[in-house]
A and B are shown apart, each in its own frame.
Chain A
Amino acid sequence: MTVNGAGRPRSTVGVSGEPLWLLGVLAAVAILPALPFINNFIIAAVVRALIFIALGQAWNVVAGIGGLLSLGHGVFLGIGCYTMGILFNHFGLPPWFGVFAGVALACVVAAAMGALTLRVRGVFFALATVSVSLALVQLSRHFVDLTGGADGLSLKFIGNSLWVGQSRTPTPFLYAGLAVVVLYYFATRMILASSFGLTMMAVRDDETAAAAAGVAVFRTKLFGLVLSAGMTAFAAALYMQFYMAIDPEAAFGLSQAIQLQLPSLLGGIGTAIGPVIGGAIMIFMSEVTNWGSTKIGVEGGDILVYGILLLVVVLRAPQGVAGLFKSAIVR
C-alpha cells in the first residue's frame, strides 16, 4: 500500500515563461551591490536567503519529486560543513577540495542509510532520518577534539582570500549563492523532464504501480536520496564559508532540518520554482521576526514563526505559494 496520500503536488511542470521572469529577478539580485542604498547588512540577508534556497532545492529533489519522508536532512548539511571545516582547520585543505570530500561522505552516509531503511514503509525511513540526525547531535558533541563539541567548530579566519574561500564582505557569497541557485533550478527542471524524474514521481505516487510499470523502486529511491544528499552537502559549502562556523544544533538539530524543508513547502513542493520563492519568503519572515523579537527581548521568535508557517502551509495550502498563484490564474 502507498503511504503518500493527500496533499501531493498537483503539477510538476512549471508555469511556462517561468525562467524568464526568474532570470530577471536574479539579475536584479546580481546588481544589488552596485545600488547606492544597499548595505552589507541587506546583502548578507540576501545571501542567507540564497543559501537556504539552495538547501531547500536539494531537499525538494528527494522529498518533493521523490516523496521520501526525509525529516533529517540536516545530517547531510552537517556532514558537509564538518568535513570541510575539519579538513581546513586541521590539514589546511581549502574548501574548494574539502567540499568534494563532504559531498562524497554525505553520499556514502545517504547510501548506507537508504540501503537499510528504504525497503520498508516510508514512515520508518522518516523515523530513521530523525533518529540519525539526533544521534549525530550527540556524537558531534562528544568528539570535542574533532568537532569542537557543543560549542561547535569555527573556521580559522585568514582574511579575504579566494584560495580559502573567505571574505570580509558578503558580496562574493552573493554571486556564489546565485550561481548555485541557478544551477540547482535548471538541474531540478532537467530532473522533472527526465525519465529518472518520471520514475521518482511514479514511486512517490504509488510504489506498487511503479513496480508494475517496470520501475526499480528501491534503486530509484536510493539514487534520489544520494543525489539529494550530495546536493545538500555541496550547498553546505556556501553555508560554512559564509557563517564560518557550525555547531551540533545548527548542523543536525530538528529546527535546522525544518529550515531545509520550509522553502519548498512554502513555495510549492515538487516544483522547480517552489524552493526559490519559499526560501526568499522564509528568510524575509525570519529577519523580520528576529528584528521584532530583539526589540521585545524574546528569543526564538523565528522558531515559533516556522512552526506556525509549517502548520498553515500543510493544512491550508499544501501546494505552497506557486500552487496558490496557479489556482488564481486558472480561475
Chain B
Amino acid sequence: MTSLALEVVGVGRRFGGLVALRDVTFSVAEGEIVGLIGPNGAGKSTLFEIISGNMPPSHGAIRYFGADVTGKAAYLRRRDGLCRTFQKVRLFETMTVEQNVRVAASQCLPSGRSLASEVDDMLQQFHLGDLRHRKPSELTLADRKRVEIARAVAGACRLLMLDESLSGLTHDEAHRLVSEIILLNKSRGITVVIVEHVLSVLAAMVQRLVVLHNATIVAMGTPTEIANNPLVIEAYLGSQGGALT
C-alpha cells in the first residue's frame, strides 16, 4: 500500500468578503504526478500558497505524509521536502546559478551527505553545468525555470509543486522539461503536483487531474475522464473557451 504524500482537507480561504477557496479536499499518493488545472481566478494560486505555507487557510488542514503541517512555517516545510516553484520565476538575481542551488542545498541537506556533490548532481541533472557561474539575468527563460526547479529540489525533496513551469516555453522546450520532470519522479521517487491552465501539455505526463473552478473542485480523474467531463468543458468554455485544446 502506498502512503499519501499530500492531503488537503476541507481547505477554505476568504479575502474580506471574497471567497477564494471553498471546502477543497483532495489527496495525492506518494509517487504520483497530479495536475491541478482550472481557468484564471479559479483559486489555484491561493491553494498553492496555502499548501506551501506562505498563506494560512481560513479553515481546513494540510497533511504532508500523514503529519499535520497547517501551522508550519514555509521554510520548515521546505526542509522536510515540500518544495515549490513560482508562477513568475523568482531566482536570487545577484547570485550565480550555482549559488542559487547551493543555498537551498545547504539549508535542506540531510546530515551525512556532501553539499558539494549534491550541488554538482543537481547542476548536472538539469544540464546547468556550463552555466554554473552565470547570473540568472543572462539565462533564457527555459534555463531560468530549470535553475528554479534545481533550487526547489536540491537538498531534500519528496513533493514538488510546480506553478506553471511550462508556460511561456516553446513546444520543444516544454517537452524537454516534461521529460526531466518525469525523470525526477522516476529516479528520485519525487511526487509531483503541477499547476497549469492548459490541459494539453499535461495530459501526457500526469496520472490524475484535479479541476478547480470558482473556488472549488469540480472534477477529479484521469486525463481522459476529465476531457470528457461535461462540467469541466462547461467551466472552461464558460470562461475562456478553447483552453482545453
Direct interface between A and B, CB < 8 A: yes
Interface residues, chain A, with chain B CB atoms under 8 Å away? 8-12, 195, 198-199, 201-202, 204-206, 208-217, 270
**Is the pair B94, A212 in contact by a Cβ cutoff of 8 Å?**
no
**Is the pair A8, B93 in contact by a Cβ cutoff of 8 Å?**
yes
**Is the pair B52, A212 in contact by a Cβ cutoff of 8 Å?**
yes
Bound form: Cα–Cα A11–B54 in Å = 29
- Least CB distance, A65 to chain B, in whole angstroms: 10
**Which residues of the other chain, A, contact B115 by a CB distance below 8 angstroms?**
195
**Is the pair A211, B103 in contact by a Cβ cutoff of 8 Å?**
no
**Which residues of the other chain, B, contact A204 by a CB distance below 8 angstroms?**
94
A-B contact pairs, 8 of them (CB 8 A): A10-B135, A202-B95, A206-B91, A211-B75, A212-B74, A212-B83, A213-B103, A214-B104
Chain B 55-88: CB-based contact to A (< 8 A → 1; otherwise 0): 0000000000000000001110011000110100
Is B223 in the interface zone, CB < 8 Å from A?
no
**Is the pair B92, A211 in contact by a Cβ cutoff of 8 Å?**
no
**Which residues of the other chain, B, contact A210 by a CB distance below 8 angstroms?**
75, 92, 103
**Which residues of the other chain, B, contact A211 by a CB distance below 8 angstroms?**
53-54, 73-75, 78
**Is the pair A212, B84 in contact by a Cβ cutoff of 8 Å?**
yes
Taking A195-B103, A198-B103, A199-B107 as contacts, is the C-beta distance between A212 and B86 under 8 angstroms? Answer: yes
Is B151 in the interface zone, CB < 8 Å from A?
yes
Other-chain contact of A213, B53, B93, B104 (Cβ < 8 Å):
B104
**Which residues of the other chain, B, contact A205 by a CB distance below 8 angstroms?**
91-95
Is B99 in the interface zone, CB < 8 Å from A?
yes
**Which residues of the other chain, B, contact A206 by a CB distance below 8 angstroms?**
90-93
**Which residues of the other chain, A, contact B53 by a CB distance below 8 angstroms?**
211
**Is the pair B75, A8 in contact by a Cβ cutoff of 8 Å?**
no
- Least CB distance, B88 to chain A, in whole angstroms: 11
**Which residues of the other chain, B, contact A12 by a CB distance below 8 angstroms?**
94-95
**Is the pair A214, B155 in contact by a Cβ cutoff of 8 Å?**
yes
**Is the pair A212, B152 in contact by a Cβ cutoff of 8 Å?**
yes
Bound form: Cα–Cα A195–B135 in Å = 18
Q: Which chain B residue shows the least CB distance to A204?
A: B94
Is B213 in the interface zone, CB < 8 Å from A?
no
Is B144 in the interface zone, CB < 8 Å from A?
no
- Least CB distance, A175 to chain B, in whole angstroms: 36
Other-chain contact of A209, B92, B99, B155 (Cβ < 8 Å):
B92
**Is the pair B95, A198 in contact by a Cβ cutoff of 8 Å?**
yes
Is B45 in the interface zone, CB < 8 Å from A?
no
Other-chain contact of B78, A8, A202, A214 (Cβ < 8 Å):
A214
**Which residues of the other chain, A, contact B108 by a CB distance below 8 angstroms?**
213-214
- Least CB distance, B31 to chain A, in whole angstroms: 23
**Which residues of the other chain, B, contact A213 by a CB distance below 8 angstroms?**
75, 78, 103-104, 107-108, 151-152
Query: Would you list the 7 A-B pairs with minimal beta carbon distance, nearest first?
Result: A214-B107, A213-B104, A205-B92, A195-B106, A209-B90, A214-B78, A214-B108
Bound form: Cα–Cα A217–B74 in Å = 10
Bound form: Cα–Cα A52–B135 in Å = 32
Bound form: Cα–Cα A195–B75 in Å = 16
- Least CB distance, A89 to chain B, in whole angstroms: 45
Between B75, B91, B135, the greatest number of chain A beta carbons within 10 A of the residue's beta carbon is seen for B75
**Is the pair A215, B75 in contact by a Cβ cutoff of 8 Å?**
yes
Bound form: Cα–Cα A210–B152 in Å = 10
Bound form: Cα–Cα A12–B102 in Å = 15
Taking A195-B106, A212-B74, A214-B78 as contacts, is the C-beta distance between A202 and B52 under 8 angstroms? Answer: no
**Which residues of the other chain, A, contact B75 by a CB distance below 8 angstroms?**
210-217
- Least CB distance, A210 to chain B, in whole angstroms: 8
**Which residues of the other chain, A, contact B83 by a CB distance below 8 angstroms?**
212
- Least CB distance, B180 to chain A, in whole angstroms: 19
- Least CB distance, B145 to chain A, in whole angstroms: 13
Bound form: Cα–Cα A199–B105 in Å = 11
Bound form: Cα–Cα A123–B17 in Å = 29
**Which residues of the other chain, B, contact A217 by a CB distance below 8 angstroms?**
75
- Least CB distance, A2 to chain B, in whole angstroms: 8
Q: Which chain B residue shows the least CB distance to A209?
A: B90
**Is the pair A201, B92 in contact by a Cβ cutoff of 8 Å?**
yes
Q: Which chain B residue shows the least CB distance to A195?
A: B106
- Least CB distance, B25 to chain A, in whole angstroms: 25
Taking A211-B74, A211-B75 as contacts, is the C-beta distance between A202 and B90 under 8 angstroms? Answer: no
